[in-house]
Amino acid sequence: MSKEITITAARLIRDVPAAEVRVDDALIAVSTLMTSVVTARRDTGGVPATKGQATIRRLMKAQMALVDVSGDILRVHGELADIGRETAGYDLHECPSVAGIGDATQRVTG
């Protein structure tokens, strides 16, 4: 295998799981914000419930968009693993984060 393919593979092994984690972090952040907004609407007296409804709907759309992004990133992960097997002859039985390489990713992204 060429050195160029090895370098590219190492970069992807680091970057793909990092992207997955960041999308999950964004989804958690938006979900937390949703909880705060709904709690504030419920707990704030004198403000009609309809006042925050548009905001809650926008947050729900943002959550759904992130779920879609997460699915796309997971499909990209699978496609890249297939390309690695076909192009570089990698024998990938498990993805890097499952195989223990994810610990290195945490150091890179943390």
Q: Report pLDDT for 78.
A: 92
Domain residues for 7? 3-109
Q: What is the pLDDT of residues 4-29, one digit of tens each?
A: 888 888 899 999 999 999 999 999 99
| Cβ-Cβ contacts under 8 Å for 97 (sequence gap 6 or more) | 17, 20, 105
Spatial contact of 23 and 66, defined as CB atoms under 8 Å apart: yes
Length of the chain measured in residues: 110
Nearest-angstrom CA–CA distance, 88 and 97: 19
Domain total for the chain?
A: 1
Residue 48: phi, psi to the nearest 5? Answer: -65, 145
19 Ramachandran zone, left/alpha/beta (phi>0; psi -120 to 50): alpha
Spatial contact of 66 and 30, defined as CB atoms under 8 Å apart: yes
Q: What is the pLDDT of residues 49-97, one digit of tens each?
A: 788 899 999 999 999 999 999 999 999 999 998 888 877 665 555 565 5
